[in-house]
Amino acid sequence: MGSTTRPIKIAIIGGGIAGLALAAGLTKKPHLDVHVYEAVPEYKDVGAGLALHLNAIKAMALIGPEIRKTYFDKATTMAEEEEQEMSTEVILAQGPHAGELVAELGRAKGRKSVSRADLLAGLLELVPRDRVTFGKKLARIWETRDGDARVHIEFRDGTQAHVDCLLGAEGIHSVVRSYLLGADHPATAPKNHDRWQVYRTLVSADEARKQINEKWTRTVPILLGPRGHINCIPLNKGARLSAGVAVRGAVLDDGGNAKPLDPSLYSDYTEDAQRIVRMVAKDTSASWSVSDHDHAPFYHRGRIAMMGDAAHASLPFAGNGAAQALEDAAVLDHLFGRVKQPSQIEAALVAYDHVRRPRSQAVVNLARAFGRVYAYAEDGMHEDPEKMKSFFAGAAVFTNEADLKKQNDDAMEMYESCVRGRSRGSSNVPVSQRHV
């Protein structure tokens, strides 16, 4: 049972960073027949910017040097000189230590940021055109126990596909997550436990330079205070600026919507910070609300798994959501290099879950902690900048300096052990991960 000479059919739902990065790796493997189904008819540039930390770069390199290169081709160098060291500067903007630098996140030579739309366009070029279909919104999933392809999917337009393996990479409102956990599971729907509201504007860099310290149009500052932290990120090779104020415990109006951003509440912030708040308050049409996932008890069942934000959406404050999506892709790409028969898919997904769930969920927790620290809400930490510095230093070690080659190796070891267990007729799947 399960042996086949035909390629293994894999459907990836969602052509975001997770889905496309994985597809760029998997479509190079001739024993796999991979197809990406993306809901939108075409990508829209909503001006979202990402600063990818070192673990993201390492994950891209593990999938393939061309993925890493795409990122570097599309990204903006924050410094004027390619060789200049740059970082995300975290600075206290309110209180007795205002002006103090408490972290330099992601310090690197030639540090860059990238527009999400630019990165997606670059990744798309790495996937053969006939392997991606736009305008295909997943609506329904069902499984059969026998037959050739046992996982079945139906799209909003009524068309269907029948595959050996389904990977849900369709973001925070994932249909695959809802199918795996159950629509009523407490961890299925996204949460905004701390009532975060991100007010955001998108302006040309020229316009921004008229209104704020021009230094913040070239770097990625995070200016902290109790009524909101302020963040700027250059986009489109420095031509545009995304600037935002993230407020914890936002005040809502009678309709349940966050009240408009009021610059007068920031009069005790540093002048630089106040100027950015005033600029943002003029036009907050690019705003979005943020939420994350409570921890899923598993990331896969049988031949179906979730990855990226579908599996572990996090608040954006640790700047590591896309990086975690890329780590997922690196591990799955490595494992599926070895999966030659449909009967081996489950072992690969067990191994993926085994290495990726603890780490990605720790990052969800970390991002929540970042949010509290940024909002001066973590045990008086803002009163002692040294404590803040050590918090950020520890976080950077955990995210950026992780040994991702070892993560891939650990996953492969787990996979081999599961496959050996199966061939001996025993299940070698850890009890906590058996759910069928």
Q: What is the contact surface with ligand FAD in residues (CB under 6 A)?
A: 13-19, 37-40, 50-52, 56, 137-138, 169-171, 175, 198, 290, 308-309, 316, 319-323, 325
The residue (of 286 and 429) whose beta carbon lies closer to ligand FAD is 286
Residue of 116, 150, 177, 200 with catalytic role = 200
H-only helix segments in 42-103: 54-63, 65-74
CB of 406 to ligand FAD, least distance (A): 21
Closest residue by beta carbon to ligand FAD: 16
- Residue of 335, 374, 405, 319 whose CA lies nearest to 112: 319
The residue (of 268 and 294) whose beta carbon lies closer to ligand FAD is 294
H helix or E strand, kind and range, residue 25: helix 17-26
The residue (of 203 and 290) whose beta carbon lies closer to ligand FAD is 290
Alpha-carbon gap, residue 409 to 107, rounded angstroms: 27
CB of 388 to ligand FAD, least distance (A): 20
Amino acid residing at 107: R
Instruction: Return the residue matching tokens 């230094």.
Output: 215
Taken in order 108, 112, 113, 114, the sign of the CA dihedral is negative
| b/e per residue 178-198 (b: at least 16 CB within 10 A) | bbbbeeeeeebbbeeebebbb
Rg, C-alpha atoms of the chain: 22
Q: Is 100 helix (H, G, I), strand (E, B) or coil?
A: coil
- Residue of 175, 111, 165, 110 whose CA lies nearest to 137: 175
Strand partners, 357: none
The residue (of 20 and 92) whose beta carbon lies closer to ligand FAD is 20
Alpha-carbon gap, residue 300 to 289, rounded angstroms: 28
Alpha-carbon gap, residue 252 to 229, rounded angstroms: 18
The residue (of 48 and 418) whose beta carbon lies closer to ligand FAD is 48
CB of 171 to ligand FAD, least distance (A): 3
CB of 308 to ligand FAD, least distance (A): 2
Confirm whether 156 is a catalytic residue. no
CB of 201 to ligand FAD, least distance (A): 13
H helix or E strand, kind and range, residue 205: helix 205-211
Strand order, beta sheet including 151-155: 138-143, 151-155, 160-163
CB of 254 to ligand FAD, least distance (A): 27
The residue (of 213 and 291) whose beta carbon lies closer to ligand FAD is 291
Which residues are known catalytic residues? 200
